[in-house]
Structure 1
Amino acid sequence: MDLAQRIDNLEQVEAIKKLKYGYWRACDAKDPVAFRASFVRTGADIDYGRLGAFQDADPMTEIFTKVALAKVDGEHVIYDMHHGMHPEITVTGEHTATGRWTLRFRQVNLLDRTETLTTGEYDDEYLLEDGEWKMSKCHFTATWSIQQPLAADAVVTGNFPAATPQSPENTVVDR
């Protein structure tokens, strides 16, 4: 591989990292539009274990929207934190790549007053679509998890921007 090819390969790897980091940022920011935009237009192979397996990103986006945007008394009730690390990205062709990532995930659930810490591995495939990398396959396998109750005096606050005109409306959950 000559120098120009090596530089192009490094640029493609960096673009894929930007895609995946943007995906996690969308998850934590409760942004279903950016979440959906991380995947190919049609036919994404998604398997998130207990959250379900799908052959397109739209059903997973619906679940994400329902969970991430859930509110009680006008306040969000689910707080997520995704920290992805240890990327192993291989450009396999002019328009294809694979990736493996480790995830540290933390969730505070105010509906059941729990905090969950999970770690696991993503196995991804990427496709260059209209000049941008998108996930065509995204499989997450949890390796371990711990859940504990929130302390009775725990106070959780959040600061999320209001839904944008392109975003689905916030979901209200009854207590």
Structure 2
Amino acid sequence: MFGDGDVDVRDLARRVARLEAIQEIERLKYRYWRACDSKDPDAFRECFVREGADIDYGSGLGGFDDREQLVELYSKLALRRDGNRWLYNDIHHGMHPDIELIDANTAVGSWTFWFMRVNLADGVVEQASLEYRDRYLVEDGKWKIQSSHVTPLTGVNFPIPEGANVAPGPAVPK
């Protein structure tokens, strides 16, 4: 294709657009996890479609058919404080994305996910790994999460040792 001077510009433009869409979807998922860790309900909300969300986070958190239900639970947990300290500090790490574009406005993807929470409310550290299976839609010109289902893989909880130095977590949102 490139060796003989006949470059198919339309095919090249289509392939670049595909790569850009995949990159935008990956950035969306990273923004979602970053919003979780930084305790930012507004950024968290903006990762999902306004209506028609299909979220299933399993027996631990449950299912949701509306982003506002999910944002309400997220805020209730993530923003819980005891005086000047957060009761839950999370670390979300997603990796191994496999994104497939269905068309210009629809995609599906799967991710391997590692999670750790310092849970001061219960005095434990929680670790888990999961598989995410997502569906993405373009809404108002931006990729959003329409559907997200998780399958648990591994998990372990252990007590925070007496006298452990626990960092304060993220700054309080303004």
Using the size of structure 1 for normalisation, the TM-score is 0.91
Q: How many residues align?
A: 164
Moved beyond 6 Å, runs of 4+:
none
Matched-pair contact (CA < 8 Å) for 2:106–2:136: yes
Structure 2 match to 1:45:
54
Greater gyration radius? 2
How many angstroms apart in 2 are the aligned matches of 1:30 and 1:37?
Answer: 13
Structure 1 match to 2:125:
115
Structure 2 match to 1:77:
87
* Greater CA drift, 154-163 or 79-88: 154-163
Name the amino acid aligned to 1:56. D
Q: 1:90 aligns with which of 100, 121, 127?
A: 100
Structure 1 position 72, deviation (Å): 0.5
Name the amino acid aligned to 2:100. T
Q: Give me the CA root mean square deviation.
A: 1.1
Q: 2:14 aligns with which of 5, 24, 29?
A: 5
Structure 1 unpaired stretches of 5+: 165-175
How many angstroms apart in 1 are the aligned matches of 2:150 and 2:129?
Answer: 10
Identity fraction in percent: 45
Using the size of structure 2 for normalisation, the TM-score is 0.91
Mapping for residues 11-160 of structure 1, pairs under 5 Å: 11-49=20-58, 50-160=60-170
Structure 2 unpaired stretches of 5+: 1-9
String of CA shifts for 1:25-78, please: whole Å, max 9, x gaps: 000001111101000011110001120101111111111001101000221110
String of CA shifts for 1:88-112, please: whole Å, max 9, x gaps: 0001011000000000000110011
SS state at 2:32 partner: helix
